[in-house]
Amino acid sequence: MIEKIKTSGITLKSLMYLIVGNLGLAFTLDCFYTANEIAAGGFGGIGLIVSTLAPVSVGTVVFVISIPVFIWSYFVEGFAYTLSALLSTLAFSFFADVLTFLPNITDNRLLAVICGGAVYGVSGAVLVRGYVAGSGTDLLARLLVTKFRHVSLGAMVFICDGVVVVASVFAFGDIESGIYAALAIFVCSYVMDAVINGFNKAAVFEIITPTPETADALANAVLQNLDRGVTLIPVVGMYEKSPRNMLMIAISPKQTYELKDLVDTYAPGSFAVMVHANEVIGEGFKGLDVTVPIKNISTEDRL
């Protein structure tokens, strides 16, 4: 059973993730979306729509409409995560207002969609990686995936922001703006899922060694040099009907070539198969399961 978090505090590390993530979100809004009239979803998109129709800042609108989501977050994710949501909203509102002095980076709306969506997606993934809440529909999507676990976080963001895209069409009186906004959300969702899933990837080796001695030598080398677990599985080669030993080893992708060198050194003549795993759960690997409420994740697993 997962150990529940015992502290309501926010660490310095998570605070840094919060600041960097929201700075990236606000930068995208001010430098790519606003001047190009791209309301690419989110409460920031709603703020952009309202600020176009009334003399009120984007940051103020974002903060006001976030209050009901904070209440839901408290019951689903707990106090610590909700506190980070509040800080995240304040940070985003602050950065969105402060960075308005920055110039629009490009007047090419397609380029703004691609670059802005990429920066927004990476920034959202930074918040997820730091186990802190985003603001607006990013927070709403995170809450919804705890109920609809078959939907990825990126896809849920895409769904939530769809309503804002439709509203932007009416606000700007331009269906072309809605199309660009939909493209921006797609890029953001795709990048976010790609970055988040990238933390879970691993390489799994299945190595059939020629002798029991080479299996022992290779296993010991992996344990000492790579600090990874090794599982020995007895197998039978059907061509000669001879018993063999197979080692199964899960490693991070960057350790692939190190393991290949160990095989060449300690178990020459082995038959090895490598497969890519999208996720590995267990000791030595830290997955990012966004469907699990933060309050149910131990402090140690978050660090």
Same domain, 110 and 36: yes
pLDDT of residue 147: 82
Same domain, 260 and 170: no
pLDDT of residue 293: 56
The per-residue DSSP string of 218-268 comes to HHHHHHHHT----EEEEEEETTTTEEEEEEEEEE-GGGHHHHHHHHHHHST
The β-bridge partners of 277 are 202
Same domain, 79 and 166: yes
Q: Would you say residue 291 lies in a domain? A: no
Q: Are 88 and 134 in contact (CB under 8 A)?
A: yes
Q: Would you say residue 255 lies in a domain? A: yes
Give me the domain span that covers residue 228.
202-277
Same domain, 41 and 181: yes
All residues at 6 or more sequence positions from 147 whose CB lies less than 8 Å from its CB, including other chains: none
- The model's pTM: 0.67
Determine which helix (DSSP H) or strand (DSSP E) holds 140, and give its type and residue range. Answer: helix 137-145
pLDDT of residue 115: 93
Same domain, 160 and 22: yes
Tens place of pLDDT per residue across the chain (303 aa): 333 333 345 678 888 999 999 999 889 988 998 888 776 667 767 777 787 778 887 777 877 887 888 888 888 878 888 888 888 888 888 898 899 889 999 999 899 999 998 998 899 888 888 888 776 777 788 888 888 877 877 788 788 887 778 777 777 677 887 788 888 888 988 888 888 776 667 889 999 999 999 999 999 999 999 989 899 999 998 888 889 999 999 988 888 999 999 999 999 999 999 998 877 776 666 655 555 555 555 555 554
Instruction: Examine the fold and report which residue of 138, 164, 198 is the final residue of a domain before the chain moves on.
Output: 198
Q: How far apart are CA 161 and CA 97, in angstroms?
A: 22
Strands lying side by side in the sheet with 242-251: 231-237, 242-251, 202-209, 271-277
Same domain, 45 and 153: yes
Same domain, 238 and 156: no
- Residue 32 is given by DSSP the state I
Which residue do the tokens 């919804």 mark?
144
